[in-house]
Each structure stands twice: as structure tokens, then as C-alpha cells.
Structure 1
């Protein structure tokens, strides 16, 4: 249910922030999601404006505190060892993507290293065997990287974007090179 743009910033508004960046690549899917949320493009712009003001404020909270205040306590807190560093992955459920969780990966100092959508452990995820299986919003960075080994991470075109280069077979079995572009960890498009 839509919340007032002047009210507390919560999960409804945060989903609009994620959609705002995805609209650059998938405006049709974003329009469908806005209808599902009962939101307008004006609501999406206002949520993004408020989010940007929060993160740029001189009194801004750290990213973890901001996510906790906006999304509440994490549904999952997982300990991870990356190399010789102990990290923590905090995960929240977002109604718009029931099979995914929003994850903030923090380093030993508590700073957020990465923020994106990941597959929820209770969801099987898509079967990715060919390039035809890679449809917008069907899979995450991690899933593509595991399905088409070796995959090479590439710098994204904006802070919330990520690219992955890999080789994948098409329906006839011919292998071709591709670059997948993700926004907030969710597949947006595939470039040959």
C-alpha cells in the first residue's frame, strides 16, 4: 500500500529507489512493478530524491544503520569468510521480489562493501543453461557467474550497476561471448 511521500521512509519507498535505477534498462518491467506497488513515476522520483538526500546529508548514518532504519531488522545475518577477512551479510525480504533478498555485505570494519539482490535460500532460482535462459529480472549476478564459468567481473556504468563477461552456448550449442549488465544485482540486459 502506498505510503505518504512525507511519511517515514520504509520498504515501499526503498523498492521504488531500486526501480528508479532499473528504469534506465527495463522501463516496461518497472511500469509493471509500479502498478503492482500502487505507485506512480512521481512516487518513484520522490523516493529517489529522499534516498539521495539521506545518503548525501552531512549527518548521514552509515549504510548499515540506514538500511536497518529503512528496512527494519535483517531477516538473515550470515557470517562469511572472504580470503582472510571475516565479513557479514545482512539480508532483508522485499515484497516486490519474493524469491530474492536485498543483501548488504559488510567488511570487518562494518563498512558496506556491496549492496544488491541475491537469491533467497528458499527459492530454487532459474535453470541457466543457454543464453536464451537469460531474461531480464530472472537471475542475479551470482547465478550467472556460477552457470557460465569462467565469468569475469567488470566495472559497472554506475555505483549500483555491475557487469559480467562470460561465454555461453545458445540453443544450438554454439558458444558466444556476452556481457550481462545488472542493476542492484538483478539482470537487466545482455550484450553480445
Structure 2
């Protein structure tokens, strides 16, 4: 058994960047338990504390007394953003904020928000200046190796598909394997990070 698998939850009153990373891991544990256990070990944590952090996060999201916007909530948990700026989204002018995530040093947690603080997207992206993976074949699509925007660009045109739960997204696209055979692929992401390929089916030449 993994040494950090089933210890009791820490009794902590704060909820900060460490606890938020546990929230990210809780959703990823549905698909990549071994990777999550390794990440928990890196944090000196375990599944019980991960579940407790997620419970507290969900309580914040659904609290009637918490009137903070999504951006306000992230600021309170993660502190001042590392970077902030503006981005056009169609006719809308959005604010883009990002924070470092120590478990994934080359990534950032990015929130794109509308005027008033409502979030459009809340997910992991590649940090500015960090080299992304070289995505060419199906075999290059390894869990936790790439983000949803990187996959969408590398295997364009990719089709956005409905996710199976909040914070999950899926993309459908055609990609060749290392032998040049083409496949219909569905890639599933949690918090914007690749988790698995639930569908890879040869399609032949078109």
C-alpha cells in the first residue's frame, strides 16, 4: 500500500494553495490514482485529507453566506495572482488571472473572468515561456503531460465534447499513431489537464 494512502486528515483551519492542490487532485483521482498518490506523497498528504479539502471547497462553492465572486474566492484561497491581464473573448473584454501550482511547476492555474467576477474558464495552462510537449501521434498523449489548449492546437480541428462532470472537458479529433495509422480519438481532461483517452479507434484512410 502506498505510504500516504489512508492516513487521517490533518486538522487545519486555513484553506490555501496547498489545500487547493488537493481539490485538483481529488477530481483527477477518478482516472489516475497512481499519479495522484505520488502527488499526495509529494505534498505529505493522503486520500483522507484530499477528501476533506474537497468537502470544504464544495462547502465554499455552495454556501449561501459566501457572496464572493469566483475570482474573489480564488484570490482569497490562492492570494494575489502571479499575472493578470485582459483578453478579448468575442465581443467581451475578460480579465485573465493566473497562479503558480507547485505540483506542476511548468503550469499555471488560469481563471478567465467576465466583468463582475464570474468565471468563464478555470483550468491549468502552460506557463509563459515554458516549452510544451511535442504532440504529434497518439502515443504522445500521456496522462498529465499536456493541457486541453495544447491538444486542441496540435490535433486541429478538435471538436469540444460534453464533459462527464463539472471541471471535466473532452475533445474529439483524428490522430495518427507511430506507424501512421489514423485513429478517432477522444481525450478527457480534468481541470484542463489530460487524464486519459477513453476512445481510440482506427478509422483507416479517408
- Normalised to the residue count of structure 2, the TM-score between the two structures is 0.89
Q: CA deviation at 1:140?
A: 0.3
Measure the CA separation in 1 of the matches of 2:85 and 2:25.
26
CA deviations on 1:168-192 (whole Å, 9 max, x unpaired) are 1100112111000000000000121
2:49 is aligned with 1:43: yes
Measure the CA separation in 1 of the matches of 2:117 and 2:156.
31
Q: CA deviation at 1:6?
A: 2.5
Partner SS, residue 45 of structure 1: helix
8 Å CA contact 1:5, 1:47 repeated in 2 = no
Mapping of residues 98-177 of structure 1, within 5 Å: 98-177=105-184
The runs of 4+ residues in structure 1 deviating greater than 6 Å are none
Measure the CA separation in 1 of the matches of 2:28 and 2:93.
31
Q: CA deviation at 1:7?
A: 2.1
User: Which structure's CA Rg is the greater one?
Assistant: 2
CA gap 1:88/1:125 in 2 versus in 1, 3 angstroms: same
Measure the CA separation in 2 of the matches of 1:131 and 1:84.
36
Partner SS, residue 55 of structure 2: helix
Q: CA deviation at 1:113?
A: 1.1
Structure 1: gaps spanning 5 or more residues = none
CA deviations on 1:84-133 (whole Å, 9 max, x unpaired) are 11111110001111000001111234211111000001210100010100
1:69 is aligned, of 59, 66, 76, to 76
8 Å CA contact 1:182, 1:189 repeated in 2 = yes
8 Å CA contact 2:69, 2:116 repeated in 1 = no
> RMSD over aligned Cα, in angstroms?
1.2
8 Å CA contact 2:70, 2:117 repeated in 1 = no
Q: CA deviation at 1:4?
A: 4.9
- Normalised to the residue count of structure 1, the TM-score between the two structures is 0.96
1:8 is aligned, of 14, 25, 29, to 14
Structure 2: gaps spanning 5 or more residues = 1-8, 201-206
User: How many pairs are equivalent?
Assistant: 190
2:25 is aligned with 1:19: yes
